[in-house]
C-alpha cells in the first residue's frame, strides 16, 4: 500500500512561526520525507531559512527539556524519530505577538519555521526522541539573542512530563538558571 502526504503549512498565534507538514511518501518499505525543499517553502509562503549554515541533531531521553532559546537566527526544527512537545515564546518587543506562547505535540513529519527572536524549546516524550535543527547562521557560544527559563511559572508551559528541576539528566545547568521572562532586561530592536 502506498500513500502520499502533500506539503502543507499553517500559521500560529506567533507572528512568523509556521507549522509545516512535510511531503512524504509511505509504502511497505517505510517512509521518505522531504525535510526541506526551497520551492515548496517559497510557494506556500512558509518562509525560508535562505541558506543552511548548520544542522544539529539532538538525542534526548524521556522527560528531558531543552530550551527556551531565541538566538538571532532562523531555525527549521522537527523530529527525526520519537515524539516530543514543542514550546515557542515570542520575545520580540515590536512583534504583535510579543509575550505569546505556542505549544504543539511533535512527531516526525511535523516541522516549524522559527523566526529570529522567538524562543524554542522542547520536551522529549520518548527515549528515542531525535530533534533536528537547521540554522541559517552558525551557532556560536556568544551570539545575539535571548533565552528564557523553560520552567518560568509565569509562562505556565504545560510540559507533559513532570521533572525535578535539579535533575541534570532532564534539565541542563545552563537552562536551569536562565532568567524568567519578567526578569529580562528590555531589548531595543533596531528600527526598520
User: Would 22 be classed as within a structural domain?
Assistant: no
Range of the domain at 167: 48-179
Residue 133's nearest CA partner among 63, 66, 181, 178 is 66
Residue 42: pLDDT over 80: no
pLDDT in the model for residue 39:
79
Give the number of domains in the chain.
1
In the predicted model, what is the mean pLDDT of residues 123-149? 92
Residue 125: pLDDT over 90: yes
User: Would 118 be classed as within a structural domain?
Assistant: yes
In the predicted model, what is the mean pLDDT of residues 132-137? 90
Domain of 174, CATH number, reads 2.60.120.10
According to DSSP, the residues that pair with 86 across neighbouring strands are 104, 122
Examine residue 68 and say whether the peptide bond preceding it is cis (omega within 30 degrees of 0): yes
Query: Would you place residue 187 in the very low, low, confident or very high pLDDT band (cuts 50, 70, 90)?
Result: low
Phi, psi dihedral angles at 19 (to 5 degrees): -100, 130
User: Would 40 be classed as within a structural domain?
Assistant: no
Is the CB of residue 90 less than 8 Å from the CB of residue 98? yes
Amino acid at each position: 500500500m502506498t500513500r502520499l502526504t502533500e506539503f502543507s503549512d499553517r500559521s500560529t498565534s506567533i507572528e512568523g512561526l509556521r507549522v509545516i507538514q512535510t511531503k512524504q511518501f509511505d509504502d511497505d518499505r517505510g517512509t521518505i520525507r522531504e525535510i526541506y525543499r526551497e520551492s515548496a517553502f517559497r510557494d506556500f509562503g512558509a518562509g525560508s531559512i535562505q541558506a543552511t549554515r548548520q544542522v544539529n541533531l539532538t538525542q534526548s531521553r524521556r522527560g528531558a527539556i531543552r530550551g527556551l532559546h531565541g538566538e538571532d537566527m532562523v531555525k527549521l526544527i522537527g523530529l527525526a524519530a520519537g515524539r516530543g512537545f514543542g514550546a515557542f515564546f515570542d520575545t520580540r518587543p515590536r512583534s504583535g505577538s510579543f509575550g505569546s506562547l505556542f505549544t504543539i505535540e511533535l512527531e516526525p513529519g511535523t516541522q516549524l519555521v522559527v523566526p529570529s527572536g522567538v524562543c524554542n524549546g522542547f520536551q522529549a516524550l520518548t527515549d528515542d526522541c531525535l530533534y533536528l535543527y537547521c540554522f541559517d547562521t552558525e551557532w556560536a557560544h556568544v551570539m545575539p539573542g535571548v533565552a528564557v527559563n523553560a520552567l518560568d511559572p509565569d509562562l505556565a508551559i504545560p510540559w507533559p512530563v513532570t521533572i525535578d528541576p535539579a535533575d541534570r539528566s532532564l534539565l541542563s545547568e545552563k537552562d536551569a538558571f536562565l532568567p524568567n521572562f519578567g526578569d529580562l532586561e528590555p531589548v531595543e530592536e533596531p528600527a526598520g
